[in-house]
Amino acid sequence: MNIQSLIQQDLERFYAVHIPESQIQLQKTKKEFTGHLTLVVFPLLKISKKNPEQTAQEIGEYLKTNQPAIADFNVIKGFLNLTVAPAYWINILNDINQTENYGTRPAGEQAPLVMIEYSSPNTNKPLHLGHIRNNLLGYSISEILKATGNRVVKTNIVNDRGIHICKSMLAWKRWGNGETPESTGKKGDHLIGDYYVKFDQEYKKELAALEAAGCTKKEAEEQSTLMAEAREMLRRWEAGDFETVALWEKMNAWVYAGFDETYRKLGVDFDQIYYESQTYLEGKEKVLEGLKKGIFYQKDDGSVWADLTADGLDEKLLLRSDGTSVYMTQDIGTAKLRFDDYPIDKMVYVVGNEQNYHFQVLSLLLDKLGFAFGKGLVHFSYGMVELPEGKMKSREGTVVDADDLIEEMIATARETAEELGKLDNCNSEEIAEVSRIVGLGALKYFILKVDPHKNMVFNPKESIDFNGNTGPFIQYTYARIQSVLRKADPLTFALPERLDVCIPINQKEESLIRLLSDFPAIVQEAADTFSPAVIANYIYELVKEYNQFYHDYSILREENESVKKFRLVLSENVGHVISTGFRLLGIDVPERM
């Protein structure tokens, strides 16, 4: 039973009245005072009918005499600082050690069903650094919500249609000379991305020539034959033109194969994938239905709009004058299909903060169209990721490619680990696997340790450091713990199921148990706030504390057998929590380094 419940029961006996748990307000004792936990006595004054200092004193004396978990107390201006007995901490460790899947809980059949959308790539370019942050956040949030008793569906919406797709298609048709992934040796998503950049380059040349001939920028854009051809290609695609659709299917197949390879490398997956090409018609149908009902209106040019000015927003285009749809149309259709397919209790969109307005509008439109789930949508808005050199631009081909970055991180991890002698006892297969685990761990941890709502700068060199708040530092500590446990041969040195509560423990050991006891609450906080950073930074604090303990106290050379076994059990459970916490972040841990 936790301290709060024990104290509640003791005080009900002491005062002979029922005391709600909400009145037992416990917090960690401030570092400048002696004690582990501080009881705020002010809510209890009506019961005690005494002043704060007298109330704190009499409660402290009663608890010290009658509650074995309380070893001592002191009173500071009405705050009761309690020192918890060592036996209580050892019992806590015993409970942690005997709890299967400590820190997580399974979802029951009636648990809430949460759908989480992440990744959402366009099929006109490969995944880049921005997609990496999106995928890592989405996957980790999914795992964290699973660990707190939710049923989760991980979903992806692939933006496989639209003017941007037609730009790549047109550029390949004009300048591709029949190139394929096989003929070029390039991943399909990279090949198509090259033609997206090619279109932009040629489009800029055309605009420059028109402006040089005397056109304004706006006139040049209106007279561009290249852009007009791309728009016509989109119109033909939506009309089902055989040749256009066949080209689209061929090029998208190349891209999907490339995406799948990147997802495998990154270690993320999906339970359900939707495609804009399959959902936009549902969206158009709902928009036209809304037009008939007077929810939306049509302009003279035939375009369909939503007037949201009464809601404090502006007017939003839903269908262009030529009848083609926009992103908002597709999102309406996708939302409808998802709620048709699944009994979703909560829908979470993991999308960057530049789309905040988009999701405000989507929620309103779905509500106006009569969908009960409209107002309950959650936009998990995260900050942008940049490099030390600044922002990236897909059209100009200046993005950091996800595949290149992953390979670079693995190569750097290997180089750094070899320089530090971390791989000296590994064979070639182990070196390759450890390099992969550490390289990806460095990348993932560096991104996930940052508050997701904040913009961040990703620095590959900083992320791979084996010291400080990095993935490799934590992974190396885990490997160190496994090495200690291997050396304590379990065949000749069996650990007890429960430790003797009379074992003397030091302040570092006590601090580690306190940190371990926080883990379930940390996982729940991460779920409540949709923040993997809560777990990442908790694991770092745990690892820092363990390394100080490891430096100051011997484990295998400890002469007292009971203390040695206690320290091994403590180390084993620190390792379990590191492993579990990192699993929720989508990060592997190496058994050897």
256: domain CATH number is 3.40.50.620
**3-state class of 275 per DSSP?**
strand
Pairing label, strands 37-40, 25-28: antiparallel
**For the residues 114-123, what does the mean pLDDT come to?**
95
**Together in a domain, 315 and 231:** yes
- pTM for the predicted model, two decimal places: 0.89
* Gap between the Cα atoms of 34 and 24, Å rounded: 20
Domain boundary among 59, 84, 109: 84
Per-residue confidence (pLDDT) for residue 355, from 0 to 100: 93
What does the mean pLDDT of the chain come to?
A: 92
Residue 422 has a pLDDT of 81
Phi and psi at residue 295, to the nearest 5°: -75, -35
Task: Clarify whether residues 49 and 137 are in a common domain.
Answer: no
Domain boundary pick from 33, 62, 84: 84
CATH of the domain at 20: 3.30.1360.70
Domain tally for the chain? Answer: 3
Q: Is the pLDDT of residue 397 over 50?
A: no
Tell me if 325 is assigned to some domain. Answer: yes
Q: What does the block give as tokens for 436?
A: 């992969």
Position 110 in a domain: no
Task: Give residue 492's pLDDT.
Answer: 56
pLDDT at 173 over 60: yes
Residue 363 and residue 510 in one domain: no
**What is the distance, to the nearest Å, from the Cα of residue 426 to the centroid of all Cα atoms in its chain?**
32
Residue 322 lies in a domain: yes
Task: Please name the amino acid found at residue 574.
Answer: V
Taking residues 164-185, report their average pLDDT: 95
Query: What's the CA gap between 98 and 286, in Å, rounded?
Result: 54
Say yes or no to pLDDT of 394 above 50.
Answer: no
Same domain, 16 and 143: no
Confidence band, pLDDT 50/70/90 cuts, at residue 260: very high
pLDDT score of 392: 41
The tens digit of pLDDT for each residue in 341-392 reads: 999 999 999 999 999 999 999 999 999 999 888 888 999 999 988 877 654 4
Q: Mind giving me the DSSP string for 39-90? A: EE-GGGHHHH-S-HHHHHHHHHHHHHHH-TTEEEEEEETTEEEEEEPHHHHH
Residue 288 inside a domain? The answer is: yes
d(CA 60, CA 207): 81
Determine how many CB atoms are found less than 10 A away from the CB of residue 371.
18
Q: Are residues 247 and 133 in the same domain?
A: yes
Q: Range of 200's domain?
A: 118-386
Q: What is the DSSP letter of 354?
A: G
Q: Within this chain, do residues 176 and 263 fall inside the same structural domain, yes or no?
A: yes
Cα 104 to Cα 1, 132, 148, 533: the distances in Å are 18, 26, 6, 17
Residue 394 lies in a domain: no
Q: What is the CATH number of the domain that holds 499?
A: 1.10.730.10
Same domain, 313 and 429: no
293 lies in the same domain as 253: yes
Question: 293 and 328 share a domain?
Answer: yes
Please give the Cα distance from 334 to 336 (Å, whole number): 5
pLDDT tens digit sequence for 133-154: 999 999 999 999 999 999 999 9
Asked whether 349 and 359 are in contact (CB, 8 A), the reply is yes
* pLDDT surpasses 70 at 266: yes
Q: How many CB atoms lie within 10 A of CB 43?
A: 14
Residues 60-85 as b or e (16 or more Cβ within 10 Å = b): bebbeeebebbbebbbbebbbbbbbb
Asked if pLDDT for residue 77 goes beyond 80, the answer is yes
Q: Does 73 share its domain with 148?
A: no
The reply to whether 488 and 569 lie within a common domain is yes
* Same domain, residue pair 501 and 564: yes
Could you give the CA distance from residue 296 to residue 344 in angstroms, rounded to a whole number? Answer: 27
- Provide mean pLDDT across the span 94-112: 93
380 has which bridge partners? 350
590 assigned to some structural domain:
no
Burial of 450 (0-12, 13-18, 19+ CB in 10 A): buried
- Give me the pLDDT at residue 136, please: 97
Whether residue 571 lies inside any domain: the answer is yes
Whole-angstrom Cα distance, residue 427 to residue 148?
39
CA dist 166 and 145 (Å) reads: 38
242 assigned to some structural domain:
yes
